[in-house]
Structure 1
């Protein structure tokens, strides 16, 4: 049975939701404040976190950001954001801050259970980091250099400031120049999102990354297919 921690200030939600999720072998524990969650995360093992966007003390977006930026063992725990803030901008923000999925309120409990099962299954079967081959740390192209060890991107001798997701997108494309990635490919590789809900988020990310890389024509759009990295490699 998988253990889940819900952080939501709606105290009436936890009981019925716990009863429903128990049908799917999901054991739900709940707290109402981020300050209550931290000692629970430190003392107990949880398999995933369900995080409300509107919380006392700090909102769920800030909590997710701090969770991913920390050094604690639970920083890589799968996070599903469950919030009334369901517009596209908030979904993109949640994606950039490291959430693995995003479900706006009101929601169907069956859909929540399905999304949690998908996240947990993906985590369960992911290969351990030690088993993965070590990629090149320095990617060099005409006019562009990506230092993955330092997470630095330089063009024309100057550094380019990227968000975490913009950087991950650039590295993913640059590691396989010329390969066409569909929107679904990109979302699944970046954060394991349910791609059919977030395909427009890819267009927004690519557009912002393309502007930051100008005047380099690094990202190529293939109509009805996706995107690829177009700069030639530097010997």
Structure 2
């Protein structure tokens, strides 16, 4: 999917911020809808297929964490959280319920656009891996199968529901089994970040990925190994 003409839902209780984001995003060619609270956001996101949601954490009533958690029960729409400085615990909580990224307020419009484009490029990232590496569309290991065309992951015979970014991370590691990637490598190649990345983003997604795999196949979860002081790799059982 091209990131042009993507449909984006902007969720913030401050009209000034919604207007600012709409102005910059529409300038990039995106189609924007707005929501001023969590309930409206969840309703819109549940009935419409947005390509991306910019979601403020601090909302009246249902906050952004709850919105993301409930949305993840029915959809894997990419979510970028908007958080205030000093809300590190909330950012971690956001990742735990399935957010793909976050932007800290006060933010620069340039950073928001950069992160939006990085998330929306997710399909082309995995597409170039398949084409350039010359691999088949299915990646098969003893306890783990990745069907790339369908973006389907099966572990221990059970299908796993992954967010787009969790899928990308797993696929990227699986394309080069037993190769160690640093957190910086993963941020650059999976998240397309060179300037604004937070290394904890990688750690949190690895943790979530392992937890999901472990529920149905501890053997598959154990394949994602930590190389201390370096990064991560997908280790094939000998």
Please indicate, yes or no, whether the TM-score normalized by the shorter chain is above 0.5.
yes
Per the alignment, residue 78 of structure 1 pairs with: 78
Equivalent runs, 1:178-193 vs 2, <5 Å: 178-187=178-187, 192=191
Per the alignment, residue 228 of structure 1 pairs with: 233
How many residue pairs match? The answer is: 205
The structure that has the greater radius of gyration is 1
Name stretches of at least 5 consecutive residues in structure 2 with no aligned partner.
145-153
TM-score normalised by structure 1 residue count: 0.64
Q: 1:21 & 1:108 partners in 2: Cα distance?
A: 13
Cα offset, 1:85, TM superposition: 5.5
What SS does the aligned partner of 1:197 have? Answer: coil
Distance 1:189 1:60, change over 3 A: farther
What SS does the aligned partner of 2:119 have? Answer: helix
What SS does the aligned partner of 1:40 have? Answer: helix
Cα offset, 1:102, TM superposition: 0.7
Question: Does the Cα contact within 8 Å between 1:82 and 1:105 map onto a contact in 2?
Answer: yes
Per the alignment, residue 23 of structure 2 pairs with: 19
Per the alignment, residue 30 of structure 1 pairs with: 34
Equivalent runs, 1:1-235 vs 2, <5 Å: 1-70=5-74, 75-84=75-84, 87-123=87-123, 127=127, 133-136=137-140, 138-139=142-143, 147-150=155-158, 178-187=178-187, 192=191, 194=193, 197-202=197-202, 219-221=225-227, 223=229, 225-228=230-233, 232-233=237-238
Question: Does the Cα contact within 8 Å between 1:101 and 1:194 map onto a contact in 2?
Answer: no
TM-score normalised by structure 2 residue count: 0.63
Question: Does the Cα contact within 8 Å between 2:224 and 2:232 map onto a contact in 1?
Answer: no
Q: 1:125 & 1:219 partners in 2: Cα distance?
A: 23
Distance 1:173 1:15, change over 3 A: closer
Give the RMSD, CA atoms, in angstroms. 4.2
Distance 1:64 1:217, change over 3 A: closer
What SS does the aligned partner of 2:227 have? Answer: strand
Cα offset, 1:51, TM superposition: 0.4
Superposed CA deviations along residues 51-101 of structure 1, whole A, max 9, x for unmatched, are: 01112232212211221221xxxx222211112155544333333332222
Distance 1:69 1:24, change over 3 A: same
Distance 1:115 1:51, change over 3 A: same
Distance 1:110 1:88, change over 3 A: same
Q: 1:10 & 1:46 partners in 2: Cα distance?
A: 21
Superposed CA deviations along residues 152-202 of structure 1, whole A, max 9, x for unmatched, are: 9xxxxxxxxxxx999997897688653212113445677x37475221454
